[in-house]
Structure 1
């Protein structure tokens, strides 16, 4: 019957997505360190799932640059790679610029206030040296415009490439340099509130391009022999 069949499909889809998100988050927060070898059986045991969703998750993570594989030899967490990060940065900055450009004419007062509140949480997290909370608040801040743009292509690209940058942003948000992002966010909110589409879009792009200062922390791109 159609209903039971569809329930089964949704269940498998959720397993795949949960496996992907769990492994991705463990890579981004450093639980799975750069260069660490990955075993799909061990990951499956950790997540309490079969090896199939784990393998599918690793394939997706390889596409986004967080995992490297060489069939028959290794699967590993990608080393921090400045070149890969710069490529992800260019794409991500362009997508956030486009998201803001499309969102600003339609942003409600509530959405602008949500951006302001997220930035306040972001500033508080930085003050408390809580990197996880800072990244979560930063996601909330930028997510307002991405959602308001109502453009699924933008969301898909942002979700694919942002995790590569988040690994480096953890370094930035752990430093005093991360405080500059608060001011950049405030500028974006002010321009959005003024309905300055072009100005807000450019400010959003500049915010993501400001990560240049941490690329030298990424280290050399070393590949296993």
Structure 2
């Protein structure tokens, strides 16, 4: 990996993990010194991240981490919740005991990571768990729609675990319940619960970003 690609990867991962929070200033010279490179690969990396929607350049300020577009994020999360609910229900009939054991092992690993407070790793494992379920959905058109929507969501942020650390701990219990339902085979309840599970992240964000009631 050359220095340009390495610089891009480091900065992207820090934004994805929440190490660089939304609206945080990204000083090119300071980053170059820290990473042991010239300003050129840092500037190139930031322009690349800008094109991907992760960074913004502001007059008289310079580069900052792009703020979360809460409205767009909420709308896309609702769409993903509907699609994931259906995909999870379709997948249930095709999960073997071995598949379910794998999901339980992954859920147990996520519980440990949540307790350690590592939102980046939790987010990675969360993707793995849900992807392992969707891999058994036989409706290829539904999966295509879900993939397309998730790719759009990635440009905002496909997870809020870095900004809502309490959400990770709640999600572990929800995953356990979801796996129980997958074992039961009740497709209607699986779809309802999977949709509700996804929307809890939206509800947690709304609760955190609303003023307290009088």
Q: How far off is 1:30 after superposition?
A: 2.3
The equivalent of 1:114 in structure 2 is 102
**1:188 aligned residue (178, 184, 197):** 178
Partner of 1:201: 191
**In structure 2, how many angstroms separate the alpha carbons of the residues matched to 1:88 and 1:129?**
26
RMSD: 3.9
Cα deviation, residue 75, structure 1: 5.5
Listed as ranges, the matches of 1:64-213 within 5 Å are: 66-68=54-56, 76-149=64-137, 151-161=143-153, 164-166=157-159, 168-173=160-165, 175=166, 178-211=168-201, 212-213=203-204
Measure the CA separation in 1 of the matches of 2:118 and 2:194.
23
- What secondary structure sits across from 1:169 in the alignment? coil
1:57: how far off? 5.0
Contact 1:85 1:164 in 2 (8 A): yes
Q: Please give the TM-score of this superposition, normalised by the length of structure 1.
A: 0.67
How far residue 121 of structure 1 moved from its aligned partner, in angstroms, is 0.8
**2-structure distance, mates of 1:20, 1:111:** 36
- Tell me the secondary structure at the aligned position of residue 170 of structure 1: coil
CA contact (8 A) 2:92 2:185 kept: yes
Task: Judge conservation of contact 2:84–2:194 (CA < 8 Å) in 1.
Answer: yes
Distance 1:106 1:97 in 2: 15
TM-score, length basis structure 2:
0.69
Higher deviation after alignment, 195-204 or 142-151: 142-151
- List alignment gaps of at least 5 residues for structure 1: 1-14, 221-225
Q: Work out whether residues 35 and 76 of structure 1, in 8 Å CA contact, stay in contact via their aligned partners in 2.
A: yes
Aligned-residue offset at 1:189? 0.8
Structure 2 spans left out of the alignment, 5+ residues: none
